[in-house]
Structure 1
Amino acid sequence: MAEKTASEETAAPEKPRADIPTVEAATAPYWDAATHGKLLIAKCGECDKVHHYPRPFCPFCWSEDVTAVEASGRGTLYTYSTVYVNDLHPFKSRLPYVAALVELEEGPRVMTNIEGCEPDALEVGMAVEVAFRSLTDELDATIFRPVAATDR
């Protein structure tokens, strides 16, 4: 058996990156779907309502009969804020960025970022569609972008 060197024994365990979300068992299917270009939302088998963010129970009827279903990826910009100052990593390198709430066609509202346009071009109520931004080789973030007038 090989002995550890002094530097290996005193080395602190590697910290997770602050800019990468923690993937847990309950959310893994959603992250995996995003990496494959799909947006999942949750649907209750008891009351038939959909919701988002992923959780093991329905927030409407408390049933645990919840499954992931693919969303259309289309929605409307419900509200947004352009962030010009944020000294935290990794946000500082993205300034300015748009933090937003998008109402999906299916009903749930999703916290997200809007990318692919200047913040001045955004309007509440405008059509948006899902897109994905790579965070690592195995993990993509769900974002939204405006739907071009020719795409409607």
Structure 2
Amino acid sequence: MPIQPDLEWHQHLAEGRFMLCADAATGVPFYPPRAIVPGKGSEDVVWIPASGRGTVYSSTTVYKRLPETNYNVALVDLAEGPRMMSRIEGIDPADVVIGMAVTARIEWPEGGDPFVVFVPAEGAE
């Protein structure tokens, strides 16, 4: 059976688990999910649980015309090492700052696929 990392990623999220792919030989995680370990060409990929902790590496606010709401696009350095693109929610987009501690949350919009967003960690605002 072919490895389908994107399908597995969404399946984990649908089951309420934030998981990362990792090199089975070293345990080093990577993102986005791939069928082959980056830089090695090895297909020895395993799934490991992510802590959900991260730090904002960069953020930009996307300004929308009224009545739509502004939002941000952020790069988050995960505690496990990889960097992922997402959004920071629960805070005004202009108040997101580099270095802010954040925690992952799985969102599942009606009729859509689950995805990961981040919220400020306790005491990070």
Q: Same fold (TM over 0.5)?
A: yes
Q: Secondary structure at the match of 2:5?
A: coil
The answer as to 2:29 corresponding to 1:50 is yes
Count how many residue pairs are aligned between Structure 1 and Structure 2.
122
1:33 is matched with 12
Task: Describe the shift of the 1:68–1:94 C-alpha distance in structure 2 as closer, same or farther (beyond 3 A).
Answer: farther
Q: Which runs of 5+ in 2 are unaligned?
A: none
Q: Distance in 2 between matches of 1:93 and 1:41?
A: 36
Identity of aligned residues (%): 31
Deviation (angstroms), 1:64: 0.8
Relative to structure 1, is the Cα distance of residues 48 and 132 closer, same or farther in structure 2, using a 3 angstrom cutoff? closer
Counterpart of 2:122 in structure 1 is: 148
2-side partners of 1:129 and 1:53: how far apart?
18
Larger radius of gyration: 1
Query: Post-superposition shift, 1:38?
Result: 1.8
- Which of 111, 122, 125 is equivalent to 2:99? 125
Task: Answer 1 or 2: which has greater strand percent.
Answer: 2
Match of 1:64 among 20, 36, 43: 43
Contiguous gaps of at least 5 residues in structure 1 = 1-23, 87-91
Aligned-pair CA distance for 1:94: 5.5
Q: Establish whether residue 102 from structure 1 lines up as the match of residue 76 from structure 2.
A: yes
Q: Which amino acid is the alignment partner of residue 70 of structure 1?
A: P
Relative to the length of structure 1, the TM-score reads 0.71
Partner SS for 2:86: strand
**TM-score normalised by the chain length of structure 2:** 0.85
Point out the structure with the larger helix share: 1
CA RMSD of aligned residues (A): 2.4
